[in-house]
Amino acid sequence: MDIDKAPKLLIVESPAKIKTISKFLGKNFKIMSTFGHVRDLPERKLGIERNEETHKIELQYVTIADKKDVVASICKEASKCGEVFLASDPDREGEIIAWHIGEEIKKVFHDPEHIYRITFNEITEPAILEAIKRKTKVDNDKVSAQQARRILDRWVGYEVSPILWKKIAKGLSAGRVQSVALMLVCTREEEILAFKPEESWSVHAVFTLEDGSTMHAELSKISKKTAKLNSKEDADNVLSQLAKATYIVAQIIDKKRAKSPLPPFMTSTLQQDAFNKLGFAVEKTMSVAQRLYEGVPLSNKDEPEALITYMRTDSLRIAETAITGVREYIKEEFGKEYLPKSPHLYAKKGAQDAHESIRPIEVSRSPQKIGHFLKSDEKKLYDLIWKRFVACQMTAAEYFQRQILIEGGKFTFKANGSTLIFDGFLKVYMEEDEETDQAVKIPKGIAENIPLSIGNVAGKQHFTQPPPRYSEATLVKELEKQGIGRPSTYAATLSTIQKRQYVNKDNKRFTPTELGTAVSSMLTKNLPDVINVSFTAKMEENLDKIAQGEADRDTVLNEFYVEFKKDLVAFGGNESLKKTIETDLECPQCQKLLVVRFGRAGQFAGCSGFPECKFTGNVTKNEDGTFALRQDDGPSAEELGECPQCQKPLSKRVGRFGPFISCSGYPDCKYIHQEALKMPCPLDAGRVTKRRWRGGSFWGCANYPTCKFAIFAGVQETPCPKCSSPYLLVQKAKEGNLKHACPNKECKFSEIVETEKE
């Protein structure tokens, strides 16, 4: 085969890149996509073998079920080509994808030496062509690092999760990073509950100059010592003395302060800024950034164009060509005074630095020029990335700061003023906490030694505040600060602890659920060598060393496994661990204490006397950490009535889809009360009952699955006045009103029913 004339195959992860890359390569190139990972460990077994004698670790990879056709198609095409270029993303996950598909291609390819690995940080013609020139082989060290991470996560997940199922509830999961993130949320909640506020007071006064101008100042010192007022009595004592003193301007301190721009975005800082400024969840930020990286149509709807560099990075490095381009842009658009003499260079300790920071590919494509081509979310995020990048290469902002010290007897007051005198990078990018105006208005006629008269004085009470709960942005910041996980994993970690119902969001801040608290407490107590911050951070360092060829994969894994297995055996064998949380609430039926249990539907209160007493109800947690039984729970047997099948009392339970009423004699009697319509099913005359599913509730024939009649709306059992259909659909209308509509599509009858307004 003539390699130069033979067709070539380039393989990417995402099909969205194919159109963009196709523009840059000739007809001799065929571009295909793996659609993400093609092989993984098996779903229903561990898939990891560790030899107890040699300690050698083997992985049992299988082709992902819905990727068999993808792999077959790629291999068939590869067999016709002279060269294959593996162009998956430039990170460890991308490296393992390249390795997996490369291993499959080797089975049918004429010469494995002509299978190459290429990477690029931006999807542009120069970057793609340069990557092909710099073709290399799959980095086996990066592959080993990804495998080590996968093995660690599989060990923790597959070995620990079943113990949680046994001791707490089915369907729970544990994770090496996920469980530490949950621990941080739970620890913060404990700090908040244990917090005791401390009182303090500040004293503020208005001073008047001889020309009548005024200035506000705060008491700073008493007898040359920092003023510490711990009670109202302390403040009142000071206030009673202030009018007796004579005041002068003792000192004026003027200085300039320069504020430098922040570095360009990396993944974690983009996630934080997008949350704080745009209100984007971490998962949404990554999804929108992915589209900007892979390409969106601009002037030509059939030709998507990539707008930003790769969005999964912990590097702050900027390519020289990009620095040159942005410096020229700043000079032309803003003027020489906004351009520093030399470029700002940034670096982050411990960064993998495999690729650049996140930046626009072409700085000339300003948000104003291309914004109308983008969807709303794409435009907002691109605007943020573009501004941060341009600002990072602009001059510092400058402030004029003036501090006034006022003295009278033993009292010293202080006033601080700050004025922006040159906006610098702030012309483009405003920081969250930036000073944009004076803190205090300083009179123009102020001068040292001039007399001042004291006017209104007042004390202000303060209380120390508990540490705030984590938001998505602050939790990402803490994970990064502690060295836990990698920027590319944060979105998945935050998503998992929410999907598992370990945390809730209250005003965009995380609070642990009772389930989350129980899981975290059990894991941290029983697996202290694994579920802790220092271990997780240290393991990230070891994974980096494996990727850099400085550590052996199996050595790192075996060191972990020995201690992990000891803790695991003790944890799994400890039958004394409780599955419940005790409360001080009495059961309304038998007066024994209630406990919080966990089921598939979440937490619920149950009687500690179970199975003799089968009371269940819903509980809420008070701010002080105590429990309260919801008032709508716990009806008496008299209120519910008797079971129509066995005459035992009915009881209210909590199931997978919410509360329901059933026989207290379960499992001997399996009666469940169901709401039913008076009318029969129009298809087979069966009962039409209310049923529940994950999306809510609906009306369906009781003879399902033989009969599949269903109504996914409210029902008004009133015949249609037009066609005599036995019922009308009840739907929401504008302004809080309801709409009654005939289910018969040919009839088309509908009417608006006004609801009573309060």
- Please identify every residue annotated as catalytic: 310
DSSP letter for each residue of 290-343:
HHHHH-EESSSTTSEE--B--S--------HHHHHHHHHHHHHHH-GGGS-SS-
Give the E-state strand segments of 178-310 in sequence order.
199-208, 214-222, 225-226, 247-259, 296-297, 304-305
Query: Taking a C-beta distance cutoff of 8 angstroms, is the pair 472, 494 a contact?
Result: yes
DSSP 754: P
Nearest partner of 661 among 695, 636, 631, judged by Cα: 636
Tokens 């601080």 correspond to 416
Tokens 């894994």 correspond to 557
> What 3-state class would DSSP assign to 645?
coil
3-state helix, strand, coil in the chain (%, to 5): 35, 25, 40
Query: Taking a C-beta distance cutoff of 8 angstroms, is the pair 397, 423 a contact?
Result: yes
Extract the tokens encoding 725.
């259909």
Distance CA 148, CA 552 (A): 10
Distance CA 335, CA 423 (A): 13
Helices marked H in 62-114 — which ranges? 68-78, 92-106
Nearest partner of 355 among 91, 536, 570, 63, judged by Cα: 91
> What 3-state class would DSSP assign to 688?
strand
DSSP letter for each residue of 589-600:
TT-PEEEEEEET
Element (H, E) at 740: strand 738-741
Give the burial string for 668-690 (b: 16+ CB within 10 Å, else e). Answer: eeebebeeebeeebeeeebebbe
Nearest partner of 35 among 73, 85, 90, judged by Cα: 73
Nearest partner of 424 among 462, 446, 458, 398, judged by Cα: 398
Q: How many residues does the chain have?
A: 758
Task: Give, in order, the Cα–Cα distances in Å from 35 to each of 75, 154, 303.
Answer: 15, 23, 20
Extract the tokens encoding 347.
């670096």
C-beta neighbour count of 220 within 10 angstroms? 17
Distance CA 588, CA 509 (A): 34
Extract the tokens encoding 92.
């460890």
Taken in order 280, 284, 286, 289, the sign of the CA dihedral is negative
Query: Taking a C-beta distance cutoff of 8 angstroms, is the pair 104, 9 a contact?
Result: no
Distance CA 712, CA 689 (A): 12
Element (H, E) at 180: helix 178-194
Helices marked H in 603-695 — which ranges? 637-640
Query: Peptide bond before 611: cis, by omega within 30 degrees of 0?
Result: yes
Residues near 667 by Cβ (< 8 Å), separated by ≥ 6?
Answer: none
Supply φ then ψ for residue 549, to 5 degrees.
75, 15
> What 3-state class would DSSP assign to 635?
coil
